[in-house]
Amino acid sequence: MSVANKKTNKKKLVIKKEVIKAKKSKLKVRPKAIKQISQLRHNLVTDEWVVVAVGRGKRPDDFSLENESVQEDADIEDCLFCDPIASGQEKDVLIYKTDDDDWTLRVFPNKFPAFARPKAGRVSHQEEGPYFMMDGVGYHEVIVTRDHYKHIGKMEPIMVAELIDAYQTRYLDLMNKKSVRYIEIFHNHGKKSGASIEHPHSQLIAVPVVSPFTVQELAGAENYYRANKRCVFCTMIKWELDYAKRVIFENDLFIAYCPFASKMAFEIRVIPKRHTPYFERMSDEEKIAAGEALHQAIRKLTTVIEGVAFNFFIDTAPCDGKDYPHYHWHIEILPRTATWAGFELSSGMEITAIEPEVAAEYLRKA
């Protein structure tokens, strides 16, 4: 099978980055995080966890739609991320620079974290009658790229590879922390995605529990392997490449396609062809190929649906010390093309208004 958008990239990833090591004796936790730690509450029926972000305490008026806002391009002079140091953001933990020492990407702790940094790696557990909860401790970081006007679809692919390298670098640093069992890396673009700042940025949250969605995917992959003796994701990749109608981009190492059972119209999955459960084990060559595939997927999406809001996130095996040989890491891109209503919320089943095959045809041509 030959896909029209197949490309090959053999470039070597050359990056100038500076990892800033924090001295433990000088590590400070924001007073607000100490007094008002978020909570992880356990659902007795579904075995799921929910996060109650106590430290971000809101009043009823704060949930009004009239208060929904995103920092627009017109507000660039007041942008918090164009010059993070000047705007009072936390100190960098990682920074990428050009040869003339100008920054291209920087990573720093979130000033208003959903999870507070743990004290000495300890996580406190509490019970309330039949219920169980624990402190919402972890690590919450922001990954900011330099150009205010360039989302990933407008960047050079090699700069997207640099972004992926930053994801991997921070993942590797946090995965062995005592309180960390899973690391969520995600990107919100546009008001409907939940982004509150227009400037392109991603977030990383390292948490002490494995998310319910990940648990479900791990179980599904394990069950499929037991029944069929092969990886469910590898099976899908082979079929999609042979079938061709849902593939929108392919290079030597990755493909991007609209999943057969898409949750959202124009949903895209970017996945390595090589079977590998762990995102953090990517080689330089794979980061370049992943950067190209992610760039092309978002470029096509934002070309076909002008001004579309979207989220993307990395699904990878947990870092909880266990082995997950039958999982296969990937990136999910979810355009915010619909709003969940009563049926979706009550049943958990999404209704999409376009067939993935038709969506893929539009995307493939973009």
pLDDT tens per residue across span 72-126? 555 677 899 998 988 889 999 999 999 888 999 999 999 988 888 887 656 778 8
Give the pLDDT confidence of 321-337 residue by residue, as tens digits: 999 999 999 999 999 99
Helix (H, G, I), strand (E, B) or coil at 71: strand
Contacting residues for 228 by C-beta, under 8 A, at least 6 apart:
235
C-alpha to C-alpha distance for 175 and 178, rounded to whole angstroms: 9
Residue 110: which of 124, 92, 123 has the closest Cα?
92
Contacting residues for 156 by C-beta, under 8 A, at least 6 apart:
295
Residue 334: which of 366, 364, 365, 298 has the closest Cα?
298
Specify the pLDDT at position 248: 99
Specify the pLDDT at position 4: 46
Specify the pLDDT at position 52: 86
C-alpha to C-alpha distance for 268 and 63, rounded to whole angstroms: 30
Are 232 and 184 contacting, i.e. CB atoms less than 8 angstroms apart?
A: no
Specify the pLDDT at position 225: 99
**CATH assignment of 6-22+29-56+88-365?**
3.30.428.10
Neighbours of 347 (CB within 10 A): 9
Residue 311: which of 210, 191, 169, 218 has the closest Cα?
191
Specify the pLDDT at position 3: 45
C-alpha to C-alpha distance for 256 and 268, rounded to whole angstroms: 7
- What is the phi/psi pair of residue 97, to 5°? -130, 160
Residue 273: which of 292, 260, 294, 290 has the closest Cα?
290
Which two tokens mark 65? 């739609």
Specify the pLDDT at position 35: 44
At CB < 8 A and 24+ separation, what contacts does 223-227 make?
Answer: 224/326, 225/326
Distance from the Cα of residue 221 to its chain's centroid: 20
Instruction: Give, in degrees to the nearest 5, the angle at Cα 48 between 169 and 46.
Output: 155
- What is the phi/psi pair of residue 31, to 5°? -50, -40
For the chain, what are the domain ranges? 6-22+29-56+88-365
Give the number of residues written for the chain.
366
Distance from the Cα of residue 118 to its chain's centroid: 22
User: pLDDT under 50 in the chain at which residues?
Assistant: 1-4, 8-9, 23-35, 63, 65, 67-69
Distance from the Cα of residue 32 to its chain's centroid: 26
Residue 177: which of 20, 24, 315 has the closest Cα?
24
